[in-house]
Amino acid sequence: MEVYDGATLRATLLEIASDFSFTWIAETRLLFDALEPRRFAELRHNPTALLSELTDDDLARALTPDYLDRLARVQRRIARDRGEETWWRDRGGPSDLLVAYFSAEFGLDESLPIYSGGLGVLAGDYLKAASELGLPLVGIGLFYRRGYFEQRLDETDRQIEHYPLTVSSRLPLELVPMAPVVELADDEGNLVPVRLGVWRVRVGRTSLYLIDTWVQGNPDWALTDTLYGGDRANRLRQEVLLGVGGVRVLRRLGLEPTVFHLNEGHSAFLQLERMRELVEEQGLSADEAIERLRASTVFTTHTPVPAGNEVFDPELVRGALGGLVERCGLAWDDFVALGKVDGSESGFGLTPFALRTARYANGVSELHGAVSREMWHGLWPEKRVDQVPITSVTNGVHQRTWISGELEVLLGDTDPEFERAREVPAEDLWAAHRRGKERLLRYVATTRGTRELDPDVLTIGFARRFATYKRADLLFSRPERLAQLLADSERPIQVLVAGKAHPADEAGKDLIQLVVEFARKPSAAGRVVFLEDYEMTLARRLVQGVDLWLNTPRRPHEASGTSGMKAALNGVLNCSILDGWWAEAYSPSCGFAIGGPEVEASEAAQDEADAAALYAVLEEQVLPAFYERDEAGIPRRWIALMRESIAQLGPRFGTARMAAEYVERLYLPAHEGATRAPSRVA
């Protein structure tokens, strides 16, 4: 047994902190939290940063028998997780398969703020699943030095954005000794060579490589400064960096992916760099190169909202990529046509370009797949809508990242067996949920400086991006009725709201202001709270601690909605419009539906109908089920719904299922297409 002092404990903890698997082994976070809880929270739960501030004497004081026992348990858990037995090995997949997974954002943990919302958190969860399954996959992204913004409200309750600098030395990042070059256009259209720094991030068995342009000698541009930041020219530069630069990084690493997976269209320009290689290095014609690309490419579209699909001025693209297009053997007009649906548009769209250069494409829920086939039918006008080659793979969440510690113990503290929820005594399940709820409400009271909300009151959570189609205002559209529910003496509710609006989305900021103004009114009875700076740690608190998860998008604009999946596996019941994942997940045995699948003729009529349906389901279904108690004060009917939510939805909407589905339906056919195609030049 190892004998520890402050220095050896530091070395051990630094090794644990160097791998983002600490984010899904629940007890690992507690090791760091026990050292200095308040400072750990202030540092966004960044263990590397915490250890940099503690002395060896500080660490020596932590060396109690209990702490060493917990450390040993974590080490055993890590060793088990990194063992040789994996799903991929047992499956016997091809030994030469390698998937390159490109995404503009990755949400691994709050301490690495290079994500804005669901797209990035989904990508981070997916890397974690790849690690657990042993799937041969490598991630490619960008290292944003100021990431996405921290949110604060000013004196008028208006969102303001703050972009703190992320210091690489205070993160578990490994600098890779290479500096590939990508030529980027300056504001006058001149091409300037930009050297790329590359950081490796360890995510269990999986590696994520992040491109950084804060390299000495580079132009003084804010290239990898903020996520989705800057003007259109800077956004284009970022997407060239991700796509073209990402391929060049892979080549310098000596990696030869057989499958390229584009997580949304931001990385679509990687196809140009791959095409250049095929034309210049293998002697293929442009048409042959495009067919080769298509055979080995998977593209996932994530949004049916037009604003979520990047479109650029073709002349801006020409200044940045005209030379590369020419090297691919493509006439400029032929290239631009790849980014248009029917030739009538004035812009170059990355989604049409990605769809035209990928044989395998999917939406992220069954409903979103159908919506995407309708939306992009113009790319295949000769086909019926149901024949458009866009399938669906419903998103999932990484269960071990999001499940509460209390529930994980009840369901199996190595790998949660969600079906066991049906066997857990009602008293134990309710007690576990109650502890998560009380922890959340203490946090709310501490951060808001207010009295603690009542744990006996039905607590509703609404937390997501404040895009207008998500309708954060639907619950607040009938203020008198809401006030009655908040103040009801027998069956009251309380509401926790969180979320950020895009910095340029003034309408989204208006919605935040509306919610906060309502919360300040006497009619809110102190039972509506807006929580600033929604990020992954706050998200975990909410999905583990509220009773009901509210989701009110304007159907069919919600592509998936993974926050509801996180709530469901914690026994938090979903109350949602039948959109995204809930359209296929809903059953009266595990949650509540707001209205039906009908879509009204106008947005105003839809909003009116959905508001009426929302209040009807709250008053007629939710409140009776929650407040109906037995002689011991246990809500048996509510707990029956909780059990089914966990047992039915926990395993079904996990990233392990999602990744296996990508493998069987998309990666293996794409791999076969890549390895079957002959080269023109030996």
Place of tokens 């791999």: 671
> Does the pLDDT at position 451 exceed 80?
yes
Exposed, middle or buried by CB within 10 Å (0-12, 13-18, 19+), for 268?
Answer: buried
- Whole-number Å distance between alpha carbons of 242 and 327: 19
Contacts of 484 (CB under 8 A, 6+ apart): none
Contact predicate 474/561, CB 8 Å? no
CATH fold label, 399-653: Rossmann fold (3.40.50)
Contacts of 423 (CB under 8 A, 6+ apart): none
Tens of pLDDT, residue by residue over 105-116, are 999 999 999 999
Average confidence score pLDDT of the chain: 95
pLDDT of residue 154: 96
Residue 667 is predicted with a pLDDT of 98
- Provide the pLDDT for residue 112: 96
**198 SS3 class:** strand
In the chain, which segments carry CATH 3.40.50.2000?
87-396+659-676, 399-653
pLDDT at 60: 95
Q: How confident is the model at residue 503 (pLDDT cuts 50, 70, 90)?
A: very high
Q: Please state, for a pLDDT cut of 90, what percent of the chain lies above it.
A: 90
Residues whose CB is less than 8 angstroms from the CB of residue 616 and which lie 6 or more positions away in sequence, other chains included? none
Q: Which residue has the tokens 């809110």?
A: 524
Q: What is the DSSP string of 348-397?
A: EEHHHHHHHT-SEEEESSHHHHHHHHHHTGGGSTTS-GGGSS-EE----B
Sequence-ordered list of residues with C-beta below 8 angstroms from that of 408, at least 6 positions apart, any chain = 26, 400, 416
Q: Quick one: pLDDT band at residue 677, thresholds 50, 70, 90?
A: low
Tokens 């409903």, residue located: 367
According to DSSP, the residues that pair with 14 across neighbouring strands are none
How far is C-alpha 285 from the geometric centre of its chain's CA atoms? Answer: 38
pLDDT in tens, 144-153: 999 999 999 9
At 413, list the tokens.
């503290």
pLDDT of residue 413: 63
Give the residue among 290, 348, 289 at the shortest CA–CA distance from 318.
348
Q: What is the largest CA-CA distance in the chain?
A: 80
Percent of the chain at pLDDT exceeding 70: 99
* pLDDT the model gives residue 679: 52
Q: Cα-flanking dihedrals φ and ψ of residue 679, to 5°? A: -90, 150
Q: What is the mean pLDDT of residues 450-458?
A: 93
Instruction: Kindly report, residue by residue over 296-314, the tens digit of the pLDDT.
Output: 999 999 988 877 789 999 9
What's the CA gap between 660 and 126, in Å, rounded?
A: 11
Whether the per-residue pLDDT at 664 is higher than 70: the answer is yes
Nearest to 650 by CA among 412, 462, 409, 396: 396
- Residue 389: pLDDT above 50? yes
Query: What is the rounded CA–CA span in Å between residue 21 and residue 29?
Result: 10
Q: What kind of fold does domain 87-396+659-676 have according to CATH?
A: Rossmann fold (3.40.50)
678 burial via Cβ count (<10 Å: 0-12, 13-18, 19+): exposed
**pLDDT in the model for residue 187:** 86
> Residue 23's CB: how many other CB atoms inside 10 A?
24
CA distance 562 to 107: 13
Q: pTM value?
A: 0.96
What residues are paired with 573 via a beta bridge?
Answer: 548
In sequence order, the 6+-apart residues with CB closer than 8 A to the CB of 627 are 458, 490, 491, 635
pLDDT at 682: 35
Task: Say which amino acid occupies 146.
Answer: R
pLDDT of residue 412: 84
Tens of pLDDT, residue by residue over 613-629, are 999 999 999 999 999 99
Query: Which segments within 117-177 are labelled E, that is strand?
Result: 137-142, 150-153, 159-162, 174-176
Q: How far is CA 352 from CA 297, 299, 361, 372, 556, in A?
A: 14, 11, 11, 12, 20
* Cα–Cα distance, 452 to 162 (Å, whole number): 28
> Would you give the distance in Å from CA 345 to the centre of its chain?
31
SS3 (DSSP) at 653 = coil
678, pLDDT greater than 70: no
C-alpha of 408 from chain center: 22
Q: Does residue 399 sit in helix, strand or coil?
A: helix
Q: Which two tokens stand for residue 315?
A: 């002349």
pLDDT for position 222: 85
Asked whether the predicted pLDDT for residue 589 surpasses 60, the reply is yes
529 sits in which H/E element: strand 528-531
pLDDT at 583: 98
The type of residue at 29 is: R
Query: Helix (H, G, I), strand (E, B), or coil: what is residue 547?
Result: coil
Check residue 112 and report its DSSP letter: S
Residue 300: helix, strand or coil by DSSP? strand
Closest CA to 43 of 55, 33, 31: 33
> What's the pLDDT score for residue 681?
43
* Long-range CB contact pairs, 366-373, < 8 A, 24+: 366/392, 366/394, 366/583, 366/584, 367/556, 367/579, 367/580, 367/583, 367/584, 368/304, 368/392, 368/556, 368/559, 368/560, 368/580, 371/304, 371/556, 372/301, 372/304
Pairing of strands 99-102, 259-263: parallel
pLDDT digits (tens, 9 = 90+) for 184-243: 999 888 999 999 999 999 999 999 999 999 999 999 888 999 999 889 999 999 999 999
- H or E stretch at 101: strand 99-102
C-beta neighbour count of 217 within 10 angstroms: 8
